[in-house]
Amino acid sequence: MLISIFTGAVPPHLCRSTNTTWPLTASSDPPNFNFSLVTGPDGDPGRSCSAPGGIPGTPLAQLNHSIALALSDSHATEGCQGGWEFSKETFHSTVATEWDLVCDHANLNNVGSSIYMFGLLVGAVLFGFLADKYGRRNIILVGLTIQSTCGVGAAFAPNFYVYVFLRFVVGTAISAVIMNAFVLGTEWTGSKHRMLAGIITDYFFGFGYIILAGLAYLIRDWRKLQLAISAPGFLFIFYIWVLPKSARWLMANQRYEEAMDLVRKAALMNGKPLREDIEICQGYKDMVKIEERTKHTVIDLVRTPKMRRSSLIMFYLWFVNVLVYYGLSLNISDFGMSIYLTQLIFGLVEMPARTITLFTLNHSRRVSQIAFLAVGGLACLLTVFIPDDTERNLQDVE
């Protein structure tokens, strides 16, 4: 989900002048060349989108000085006709460097991320419906297959448009897996421990954050990194034999004997009295009959004034939280620190955040929600007072 932070990163770059000598190699930056010159002290990216004019055949040793002089004269630049040279100090290869998604084409990189997020939305709607119809186990297996296959395919994409399409499909599949795996896990957990099961599941999101930071640090080529995070998905083929169906879904579809067989196996594995579980199954059976008489739709979320108010508040809270969360997570390159260190810190922060919820969910959820929103909002507002030169100072320290 967050792989685009690294695969779509845009390193410092310089427009290659058609009149300038560029003895560059594919594995290193120009010797003694300072790429920060082309962005200038104000961070203006436009300076890296035009070629310094009037310096034909400039020796590389004089390039820093020549570009600095050219950039000081607004009339000394021309459009970039010779392509770009990218710094390889942090990344050896990214989607942006391979397909020149900078300057006039920079928006394509952002569009690619937006299309991926749109895939998450489509997957949530599509596979949510299909899971109710065909079962959560089946949809999880299908989602894992699609995610792994298209993820590996993206590593071999011949052009940007094929890459974006495959990422869109991966996004839909990720929604299928995450959403249904969470629901299936909680359905097989007793009400007493259901909250704990949900939070433990969320811990692995933080672990993924941390692992991604390490993998990205070790693998600087975007295709190899994409392959490294996608190919392991095929290891989950053993889920075909171990992943159980949803007893609740079986009951809802009047497959009572299958549901009771699964409950018997669960009781035997957990060392629980079988009689108690059979009574639970009978309770599910009675509940399903009641639900069949009262079918609900999405409209019920906004049908009554009280329900409508609660639903709209929750919709807004989810929207704002996701907007801020992914707005920060997908832009860690703008924090002024090492992108790998920032990613690691973001992953580590997830752990205490999940742990705190273990103690707050059993108390006033409204109060804790207000408190967390207030703290998060205040932290965002305080960033306004951070000096503009902080990023440059951090880079100097590094």
Cα-flanking dihedrals φ and ψ of residue 146, to 5°?
-65, -45
Q: Count of residues for the chain?
A: 398
Q: How many CB atoms lie within 10 A of CB 319?
A: 10
| Predicted pLDDT of residue 246 | 81
With respect to residue 8, please indicate whether it lies within any of the assigned structural domains: yes
The answer, yes or no, to whether residue 137 has pLDDT greater than 80, is yes
Nearest to 164 by CA among 175, 174, 150: 150
Q: What is the pLDDT of residues 299-308, one digit of tens each?
A: 888 888 899 9
Q: Between 60 and 134, whose confidence is greater?
A: 134
With respect to residue 155, please indicate whether it lies within any of the assigned structural domains: no
Q: Between 83 and 391, whose confidence is greater?
A: 83
Q: Which residue shows structure tokens 């503009």?
A: 388
* R_g (Cα) of the chain, nearest Å: 26
The answer, yes or no, to whether residue 267 has pLDDT greater than 90, is no
Q: What is the pLDDT of residues 369-383, one digit of tens each?
A: 888 889 989 988 888
126 pLDDT band, cuts 50/70/90, is very high
The answer, yes or no, to whether residue 1 has pLDDT greater than 60, is yes
Range of the domain at 51: 4-103
58 pLDDT band, cuts 50/70/90, is very low
With respect to residue 151, please indicate whether it lies within any of the assigned structural domains: no
Alpha-carbon distance 386 to 382, whole Å?
7
Q: Between 389 and 335, whose confidence is greater?
A: 335
pTM for the predicted model, two decimal places = 0.79
The answer, yes or no, to whether residue 141 has pLDDT greater than 50, is yes
| Predicted pLDDT of residue 293 | 56
Mean pLDDT of 316-332: 88
What is the average pLDDT value for the chain, to the nearest integer?
Answer: 78
Q: Which residue shows structure tokens 């922060």?
A: 349
The answer, yes or no, to whether residue 390 has pLDDT greater than 60, is no
276 pLDDT band, cuts 50/70/90, is low
Q: Which residue shows structure tokens 């080529």?
A: 221
Nearest to 184 by CA among 241, 247, 129: 247
| Predicted pLDDT of residue 78 | 56
Query: Beta strand 13-15 with 84-86: parallel, antiparallel or unpaired?
Result: antiparallel
The answer, yes or no, to whether residue 65 has pLDDT greater than 50, is no
Q: 331 by DSSP, 3-state: which?
A: coil
Alpha-carbon distance 350 to 210, whole Å?
10
Mean pLDDT of 258-268: 80
100 pLDDT band, cuts 50/70/90, is confident
Q: Between 12 and 252, whose confidence is greater?
A: 12
String of b and e for 71-102 (b: at least 16 CB within 10 Å)? beeeebbbebeeebbbbbebbbbbbbbbbbbb
| Predicted pLDDT of residue 90 | 86
Residue after which a domain boundary falls, among 56, 77, 103: 103
With respect to residue 46, please indicate whether it lies within any of the assigned structural domains: yes
Instruction: Please report, rounded to a whole number, the percentage of residues in the chain having pLDDT higher than 90.
Output: 23
Alpha-carbon distance 136 to 179, whole Å?
9
Which residue type does 86 have?
F
Q: Between 155 and 262, whose confidence is greater?
A: 155
40 pLDDT band, cuts 50/70/90, is very low
With respect to residue 367, please indicate whether it lies within any of the assigned structural domains: yes
The answer, yes or no, to whether residue 218 has pLDDT greater than 80, is yes
| Predicted pLDDT of residue 50 | 67
| Predicted pLDDT of residue 56 | 42
> The tokens of 334 are what?
């703008």
| Predicted pLDDT of residue 115 | 92
Q: What is the pLDDT of residues 160-215, one digit of tens each?
A: 999 999 999 999 999 999 988 888 888 888 777 788 888 888 888 889 889 999 99
Nearest to 17 by CA among 45, 54, 46: 54
Mean pLDDT of 219-246: 89
The count of domains in the chain is: 2
Alpha-carbon distance 10 to 133, whole Å?
43
Alpha carbon 202 to its chain's center: 14
Bridge partner list, 203: none
280 pLDDT band, cuts 50/70/90, is low
**Per-residue DSSP letters for 278-302?**
HHHHHHHHHHHHHHHHS---GGGGG
Mean pLDDT of 233-257: 83
Residue after which a domain boundary falls, among 76, 103, 130: 103
| Predicted pLDDT of residue 68 | 45
Q: 180 by DSSP, 3-state: which?
A: helix
Residue after which a domain boundary falls, among 55, 79, 103: 103
With respect to residue 62, please indicate whether it lies within any of the assigned structural domains: yes
43 pLDDT band, cuts 50/70/90, is very low
For the chain, strand residue ranges (E) read 13-15, 50-52, 77-79, 84-86
